[in-house]
Every structure is written in structure tokens, then in C-alpha cells.
Amino acid sequence: MGVEINGAVEGPIDRAVLRRLIEHVGGRPGVIHLGNGKSGVLGKLGGYNSAAYYSPWVVLVDLDDDFPCAPAARAAWLPRPAPHMCLRIAVREVEAWLLGDRLQMARFLGVPNSRLPSVPDAVSDPKSLIVEIARTSRRAAVREALVPSPGSGRVVGREYTSWMIEFGASREWWRPQEARATSPSLDRAIDCLDRLLAAVGTSDPPACRSPRPSLSS
Amino acid sequence: MPTMASSTSAGEPLRITRLELRNWRNFAQVDVPLARRVFLVGPNASGKSNLLDSIRFLKDLVEVGGGLQAAIRARGGVSAIRSLSARRQPEVAISVRVGTTSEPDRWEYTLSFSQGTGRTPTIKRETVARNRVVLLDRPLKEDRDDEARLGQTHLEQVNVNREFREVVEFLQGVRYLHIVPQLIRDPERYIGRPNDPYGGDFLEQVARTPRRTQQARLSQIVRALKVAVPQLETLKLEQDAKGRWHLQGKYVHWRPQGAWQSEAQFSDGTLRLAGLLWSLLDGQGPLLLEEPELSVHPGVVRYIPQLIARTQRKTQRQILISTHSPDLLRDEGIGLDEVLLLEPGAEGTTVRPASDIRDVRVLLEGGVSIADAVMPRTEPEHAEQLALSL
């Protein structure tokens, strides 16, 4: 059993992804708080940060259109991170990290690989893109589950959440190791988790800063 | 008891596509489309249960031992059904359209009745249409000649409903569930009535299911229940010396062999979830669920809409759910056309799809969840007064 890492995320899909990532780096997912949206997470960030003085914490939020880049967002939201706090900002939405495993996502959605974006971090609205790709699926079940009905007023279909959780949570589907190769923002998140684990038990605070300057971190 | 709902050649089962009520309990006038999945949201006493009950009323018409008189009597008579805001019109009316997405008006059934001059409730009008072609329009000449006939619907009479038997079988397939855990645990439950919506005969219903189906469903239920109750390992049904059925659950325990517990020791949440899961697997006709969130952890409640959607993709059956739970409504796959908002007013409660409310649509476009857009509309204006009331 690895080191327990607690966390906070916006919604259930993010939670499934974060648990996978913690396991991927050899940690053990602890309590992962659901914020019911970004404001829910950011509103409690002070509390999470206090807790991160005592044990490792990961907070995952989407950048959306709030800031031009993740470092600016981080500086505004959490100017003084605790030693064991890792605030990660997915460039748009966590779905971009799922799209990073192109081969498996194409299989999951029943579409040719070529339908998947080669630079998922550059997709402005990954949720809508997944729905648009699902619309062209060979499999009726995929279309029915992920594409919203015309009168629903929603962006996603009725089963979108559970399908994305199924994809993200299952070792048979999503492979973070493959996905990080196409999503630099995921790559940095995994690096950050690695450092967080390595720093536990030592006095060194983990340096959750991007080794490379980029848009996302 | 027929359990198979009629279906079209394409395999899509029939559903209620539209419901109209006039002077029915809380409602002076209701006319709403019904999606395959419907969430009824409204303040306390706005009529969510009464709306579901109007559909149960139709089922009661066609039940063995049911019929118009019994259905009205079970509800306390016409005066109890008739809306308080119905001043001039003495009649109570209900109308449903039954069909599919491609054929929403396949059937239309309409019934209106009043107390009449005598002691028995009397039908004022009963009509059946198929694809808008009228097959029946009562009162007929025979009804006028012999008014006693107007005490019974044609729906409930096998010798006259042959042309629209499909509607009868469809309504017989309606299921309703509002499990009261105390009733399941009650050792006297055996005297309960069959198909008790409160779960009094829940275990007997499970026991009546053919063994292979029963075992397959119980293991599906354990798999699902483990999400909420990870200690649960197995479920089985056993009969005691007095012939009563008991649900036995094996829990992973500090003892090496684990420990068996019967339903008497199950938590309310476990029993209610087990009942919910069973009802989703049982039958194909419309399923009416009252507040499935009761006694269940909010972290589990939020996945109930996904559970229902996934079940429906396989069975396509219609499911109507009343709820007060923001956790349940937080699911981002719930469509605005699936939410019916009940709003009480001086002239009774009005019902409209959330998609008809501009503010709700706009809030959603701005990223607000359905729960946050709709729930404040159902909150009493001065709820804080409760704190000061005693």
C-alpha cells in the first residue's frame, strides 16, 4: 500500500481520473472531495491548503477561460501553497487527458483513430468534442448514451458521466502512460504527483512547478 | 398478472407521451408531455405524489379486482379526488396519450366522471382513439338507456375492450414503488395486500420470481449494492418455519466466515436501494418511483440518474421519479425536457417542463446545474420561519 493522497475535484469524472493517477504513481487514493463545480473547489481551497501542511493533497480544477494560462491562475488562486499541496490545472477540462489516449478512446467510442485530436490540450471544449465524435460512432449505444437529445438543452447525453468514469477508471481502457505523451498538461500533473510522493517523509516541499514554461503550467 | 408491456415492431415499448388532468386533486389543469425519463420537482404538498397517483389510478381501473368504483373508493371518493379549486365544473378528468417517439399519439384514452346524482360515481365521458381515429365515445345509446352502465369503464371490461386491449395491457404493466423499510421488516407483513407499493409484500414478490431469474437479479443487485455497502457479499432468499420469506445478506466481517444478517437488521438505506434495484429489473411497463433518495447517502444518490439511464438503454421502459434531492438533480445528463416543475398557486398547482422556463434555460447555458437552477424555485418563500416557529 502506497502513501495516501487526499484530494478535491470539480466533479465525478475528475474524481475517477484523479484516483487512477494517484494509483498510477504508486500512491493510494484517500478521500477525494467533490466540489460540485469549480467555485465549490476554489471556495474551499484555503481549507484544503491548510490540510496540505500535514499530508499530501492534490486539487484538480479546470482552467476554462478564467486565465490565459495555468501559472497565472495558480498565482491568483493559491499564492502560498502548503508544502504538500499540489494544485493542478487541466488546461480546459479533464476530458482532454482522457482524449490523450487516442487509440483507446477511439476504440471506446467506436470511431477511427483519425477522428481523435492529435493535440488534446489545444481543444477548446473537450466535452463537446467527445460528444461530437460520439455522434459519428459506428455503435448505436455510444450515440444514444453520449449525445444529448435535441430538446434537452444539455451539452452531453444522459449517460455521458458514467461512460467517462468507466473509461477513466478502468485499467482496460485509459492508459495514463500513453496519454501523457500527447497531453503535456497531464504529463506535468503526473510529474507533480511523483514529486509529491517522493517528498513525503522528507522535509523538502515538492516543487510543483513546471520544468518547462508553457501555456498550461 | 401480465407484466409484459406492449411494444412496437421496432422494439421500443409504449410509454405515456402526454398526460392531461382536469380538477384532479392539486391540479385545476395539467397538460404536459412526458419523456421516457421524468423527474418531478416541486415544494412539499405541491402534488408530486398525486400526479404519480393519477397514473396509478389508470392502472387500478384495469387491475384484477379493480375498476372505476374501486379506484375511486380507494382514493376516498370523487370529492377527495376533485380539486379544491374546481368551483364550477363538477367533473374530474384524466387523459393519456400512449405511444412511442415515432408514434406519440398511437393511443389516446380520456375519462371524465363526477359524483352524479346517485351515490355512485358516474362516467361523463370515455373515449379511446387510435392514431386519432375515434374507436369509442361514450356515453353510447346503451349507456343512456341504462345509466348503471356508466358506473364502469370499457377499459375494465374484457368483453368490450378487445379493440384497445393493447392500452389495457400497457396500463396493467405500470409499477409503483415507495418502499417503507419498516413494512418489509414487519413480521405481520404477510397479511399485506399483493403488489403493495410500500413494499409490504416485496420479499414475496421476489420469492414468486422464477428461481433462475431471481438469482441472476439478486447477484446483479449485490454488485450494485456493494457500491453503497461494500461489506455486503451475497444476498439470498430463505423461508422460515412459518413460511415467511427473508432476505439474507452475508457481510464481510471480522469473523473469518463473515456474518449473515436478515432484512430485520438491514439498514433503511440498504433496503430501499435493494427495492429500487429490484424494481428497475422487474417488469417493462412504466415505473413510478417516489423519492428514491430517501435514506441513501448523497454520494450514492447522485448516480441514481445514471443508473436509471443505463437501465433504460437496455429496457427502454418509462420511469417517472419524484424527488427533493439536489444531489440527484446535479447529474449533467438530465435534460430540461425531463424535468417537470410543479408550482402551487391560488388556482391549484401548475406543471410545466423546465425547458419552458426561460430563466432555467439561461441559467443552464451559463453553467449553473439543473439542481441550482430549479431547486430554489421549489423552496418555500419563508422557509427560515420554521426555525422560529416553536
CATH number for the domain including A75? 3.40.50
Pairwise CB contact (< 8 Å): A144 & B305: no
Pairwise CB contact (< 8 Å): A141 & B313: yes
ipTM: 0.85
Q: Are residues A45 and A121 in the same domain?
A: no
Pairwise CB contact (< 8 Å): A154 & B334: yes
Using N-to-C axis directions, what is the helix angle for A12-24 and A184-199, rounded to 10°? 60
Which of chain B's residues have a Cβ under 8 Å away from the Cβ of A157?
333
Q: Does a structural domain hold residue A205?
A: no
* pLDDT score recorded for residue A205: 46
**Number of domains observed in the structure of chain A:** 2
- Residue from A15, A42, A154 to probe the interface with B (highest B Cβ count within 10 Å): A154
Pairwise CB contact (< 8 Å): A153 & B364: yes
Q: Are residues A163 and A191 in the same domain?
A: no
Q: Are residues A75 and A100 in the same domain?
A: no
- Per-residue pLDDT of A16-67, as tens digits, reads 999 999 999 999 999 999 988 888 899 999 999 999 999 999 999 987 777 8
Pairwise CB contact (< 8 Å): B369 & A36: yes
C-alpha cell at B241: 418455519
Q: Does a structural domain hold residue A208?
A: no
Which of chain B's residues have a Cβ under 8 Å away from the Cβ of A148?
333, 335
Which of chain A's residues have a Cβ under 8 Å away from the Cβ of B352?
none
pTM score of the predicted model: 0.89
Q: Are residues A58 and A119 in the same domain?
A: no
* Residue A164: closest C-alpha in chain B: B306
Q: Are residues B170 and B160 in the same domain?
A: yes
**Number of domains observed in the structure of chain B:** 2
> What is the signed CA dihedral for B182, B187, B192, B197, rounded to 10 degrees?
30
* Residue B339: closest C-alpha in chain A: A152
Q: Which of residues 18-37 of A touch B (CB under 8 A)?
A: 34, 36-37
Does A160 contact chain B (CB < 8 Å)? yes
- Give the number of residues written for chain B: 390
Q: Does a structural domain hold residue B388?
A: no
Q: Are residues B265 and B364 in the same domain?
A: no
Q: How far apart are CA B91 and CA B98, in angstroms?
A: 23
Pairwise CB contact (< 8 Å): B335 & A153: yes
C-alpha cell at B235: 444476498
Pairwise CB contact (< 8 Å): B333 & A157: yes
- Say if CB B290 and CB B177 are below 8 A apart: yes
- Per-residue pLDDT of A120-129, as tens digits, reads 999 999 999 9
The answer to whether the bond into A112 is cis (omega within 30° of 0) is no
Does B302 contact chain A (CB < 8 Å)? yes
C-alpha cell at B187: 413480521
How does A55-76 read in b/e, with b if 16+ C-beta sit within 10 Å? ebbbbbbbbbeeeeebbebbee
Q: Are residues A126 and A111 in the same domain?
A: yes
Pairwise CB contact (< 8 Å): A151 & B336: yes
DSSP E strand boundaries for A10-72:
28-34, 57-62
Pairwise CB contact (< 8 Å): A154 & B331: no
Q: Are residues A44 and A111 in the same domain?
A: no
Q: Does a structural domain hold residue B387?
A: no
Domain containing A137 equals: 96-178
Pairwise CB contact (< 8 Å): A162 & B306: yes
Compute the average pLDDT of residues A193-205. Answer: 73
CATH number for the domain including B60? 3.40.50
Q: Are residues B120 and B231 in the same domain?
A: no
Q: Are residues B262 and B347 in the same domain?
A: no
Q: Are residues A65 and A105 in the same domain?
A: no
Does A39 contact chain B (CB < 8 Å)? no
Q: Are residues A72 and A125 in the same domain?
A: no
Q: Are residues A71 and A134 in the same domain?
A: no
Q: Are residues B100 and B137 in the same domain?
A: yes
* pLDDT score recorded for residue B254: 62
Q: Are residues B291 and B199 in the same domain?
A: no
- Residue from B32, B315, B319, B332 to probe the interface with A (highest A Cβ count within 10 Å): B332
Cβ-based neighbour number of residue B20 at 10 Å = 18
Q: Are residues B211 and B95 in the same domain?
A: no
**What residues contact residue B207 under an 8 Å CB cut-off, 6+ apart?**
B214, B237, B239, B245
Compute the average pLDDT of residues A91-119. Answer: 95
Pairwise CB contact (< 8 Å): A145 & B313: yes
Q: Does a structural domain hold residue B205?
A: yes
Does B41 contact chain A (CB < 8 Å)? no
Shortest Cα distance from B331 to chain A (angstroms)?
8
- Residue A203's pLDDT band (boundaries 50, 70, 90)? very low
Q: Does a structural domain hold residue B304?
A: no
Which DSSP category does B331 fall into?
Answer: -
Does A3 contact chain B (CB < 8 Å)? no
Q: Are residues B38 and B146 in the same domain?
A: yes
Write phi, then psi, for B232 (nearest 5 degrees).
-75, 135
Q: Does a structural domain hold residue A69?
A: yes
* Residue B336: closest C-alpha in chain A: A152
Q: Does a structural domain hold residue B268?
A: yes
Pairwise CB contact (< 8 Å): A149 & B302: no
Q: Are residues B202 and B124 in the same domain?
A: no
Q: How far apart are CA B306 and CA B55, in angstroms?
A: 24
Q: Does a structural domain hold residue A85?
A: yes
Per-residue pLDDT tens listing for chain B (390 residues): 333 444 444 478 999 999 999 999 999 999 999 999 999 999 998 999 999 999 999 999 999 889 999 999 999 999 999 987 766 777 999 999 999 989 999 999 999 999 877 778 999 999 999 999 999 999 999 999 998 999 999 999 999 999 999 999 999 999 988 877 777 777 665 555 666 667 777 888 888 899 999 999 999 999 988 888 888 889 999 888 888 888 889 888 766 667 888 888 888 888 888 889 998 998 889 999 999 999 888 888 999 999 999 999 888 999 999 999 999 999 999 999 999 999 998 889 999 999 999 999 998 888 888 889 998 888 877 888 888 888
Shortest Cα distance from A34 to chain B (angstroms)?
9
Q: Does a structural domain hold residue B374?
A: yes
Q: Does a structural domain hold residue B206?
A: yes
* pLDDT score recorded for residue B301: 92
Pairwise CB contact (< 8 Å): A153 & B369: no
* pLDDT score recorded for residue B27: 94
Domain containing B339 equals: 1-174+287-296+314-381
Q: Does a structural domain hold residue A206?
A: no
- Say if CB A49 and CB A176 are below 8 A apart: no
